[in-house]
Amino acid sequence: MDSIELIGMISIIMAGATVGIGAPITAIGEGWAVSRAMSALAQQPDAAPVISRSLFIGLAMIESSAIYCFVVSMVLIFANPFWNHFLGVAGG
Amino acid sequence: MTITPDAIVYWQLGPYAISATLVFTWVVMAILVLGSWLVTRKLTTGARVARGQLLLEIVVNAIRAQIREVVDEAPDRYLPFVGTLFLFIVTSNVLSVVPGFHPPTGSLSTTSALALCVFVAVPAFGIATHGAGAYFRTYLQPSPFMLPFNLLGEVTRTIALAIRLFGNMMSGTMIAAIALALAPLFFPVLMNVLGLLIGVIQAYIFSILALVFIAAATRAHDQTQAGAPNATGEANRG
């Protein structure tokens, strides 16, 4: 198999696997955080502004790992440096 | 389909490319500056207040209230920096529903620049509050062995700040483009509404995180000196 075919195949598989593995684990973490925040809200409705602000900040922190996965997979698909390098070698 | 507005180049002036990021950054800045200038040109304090002035007062008051909740002290020190960050990001994110507008926050260059501003502002606020020596000593807390980790934390949270905003905005535009190709009727509208929500939340999160980092830098000294009689520390704690 040609090296460029191999690179294309592995890039697409890994782009899917990156999001497919990274997103669900992050989702589990966010679910935990939200469920804890909901029970805290139910116990102390007075502290709603503080709880929801901390929840938003925490969710953003957790979600950034899923976003990293997404960025990596987007780079693999649309801006793959190895693919571009071998295209340049094949073309030039 | 382009992953970033950096790739859309309008003019090439020698080595300098005028990309969509640059153009739309200036568009957002022009909207903000012209809007504020038009409103603040004729401020009144009477019973009848112009609509624009009311709008700006509501926005500034909301930002001040949020800052006050986080730092527990007078918000005026933090208002210019954090408020500007929030207004710039929220304007460019919300304008992304306008057809033909590429949000500058969807480019890693813009978000890195904003994150670098935060990276510089955190020690600046810390040194302005405590002086250079006392601020840099906080890097040796709780023990000098933690110095590399403290420095690493500074850098990685800056990178995380940049990548988070970029990833969210980029995914918003990508999802809209993919939805347009798969189900062009009605579905992209829903994704755009979601994109609006995410854009406002991300602007909020970016500025709140910047504020939390700055507040940690200005407050760290008070906690380490909690036992010592310190007039300024008592005043700050509020």
Domains of chain A: 3-90 (1.20.20.10)
Considering the domain boundaries, does residue B238 fall inside one?
no
Q: What number is the average pLDDT over the span A43-68? A: 86
Question: Do the Cβ atoms of A68 and B163 come within 8 Å?
Answer: yes
Range of the domain at B37: 5-228
Question: Do the Cβ atoms of B174 and A63 come within 8 Å?
Answer: no
* The two three-digit tokens of residue B121, written as one number: 């502002």
Predicted pLDDT of residue B6: 80
B230: Cβ contacts below 8 Å, ≥ 6 apart: B222
B87 touching A (Cβ < 8 Å)? no
* The two three-digit tokens of residue A74, written as one number: 């987007």
Considering the domain boundaries, does residue B146 fall inside one?
yes
B174 → chain A, closest CA residue:
A74
Confirm whether the ipTM is greater than 0.85.
no
Considering the domain boundaries, does residue B37 fall inside one?
yes
**pLDDT tens string A26-38:** 999 999 999 999 9
**Number of domains composing chain B:** 1
**CA-to-CA dists, residue B171 to A67, A69, B102, B119, angstroms:** 9, 12, 13, 25
Tell me the count of A-B CB pairs closer than 8 A. 44
Predicted pLDDT of residue B135: 87
Considering the domain boundaries, does residue B224 fall inside one?
yes
Q: Identify all chain A residues contacting B167, using CB atoms and an 8 Å cutoff.
A: 64, 67-68, 70-71
What secondary structure does DSSP assign to B212-232, as a single string?
HHHHHHHHHHHHHTTTS--HH
* Closest among A87, A81, A62, A66 to A11, alpha carbons compared: A81
* Band (A40; pLDDT cuts 50, 70, 90): very high
Considering the domain boundaries, does residue B22 fall inside one?
yes
**pLDDT beneath 50: ranges in chain B:** 224-238
Question: Do the Cβ atoms of B174 and A74 come within 8 Å?
Answer: yes
Number of H helices, E strands in chain A: 3, 0
- Residue B32: φ, ψ to 5°: -65, -50
What is the pTM (predicted TM-score) of this model? 0.81
Considering the domain boundaries, does residue B21 fall inside one?
yes
Predicted pLDDT of residue B79: 92
